[in-house]
Structure 1
Amino acid sequence: MTRQRIEVGKYLTNIGVLGAAAGVVSTARRTNSMPRDWRRFIVWGVWIAGLILAIAGVAMQDRDAEFADE
């Protein structure tokens, strides 16, 4: 397997990544009015997990395309 160059542009223009990143605004608003307890960490953890999944989905697109070509 060869190492591929990471292209930042494909992450910055992907609608899934943009949507997940934009979710930080609503997450911040939601947690601002919440009591300061463990539930706040759960909300932020869910947002982080969504962002990671969106980024991983973009990263796997090239592998999916290679697999489909075989």
Structure 2
Amino acid sequence: MSLGKYVTNLGVIGAVAGAYSTAKRTKTMPPDWRRYVVWAVWAGSLVLAVSAVAFQDRDEEFSA
């Protein structure tokens, strides 16, 4: 398993870059449950992007 395929994937890069906008958005929010929901949605998008890269090899084997 190579780390390079995660670092160069545009989905993962976009999800990581989304942390900046999420931090910017939650900075002005009141400290209540909604702030945690926004961060949970961001974490979910990061997990989906990383898992898509992880299963990419398996998908290529299945289609062959």
User: Shorter chain as normaliser: what TM range?
Assistant: over 0.9
Equivalent residues, number: 64
Deviations 1:20-47 (A, max 9, x none): 0000000000000000000000000000
- Asked whether 1:10 is paired with 2:5, we answer yes
**2:60 is aligned with 1:57:** no
Percent identity of equivalent pairs: 58
Cα separation, 2, equivalents of 1:49 and 1:65: 24
Equivalent position amino acid for 1:45 in 2: A
> When the two structures are superposed, what TM-score results if normalisation uses the length of structure 1?
0.90
> For structure 2, which runs of at least 5 residues remain unmatched after alignment?
none
Structure 1 segments of 4 or more deviating over 3 A?
A: none
Q: How does 1:1-70 map to 2 (within 5 A)?
A: 6-69=1-64
> Normalising by structure 2, what TM-score?
0.99
Rg larger in structure: 1
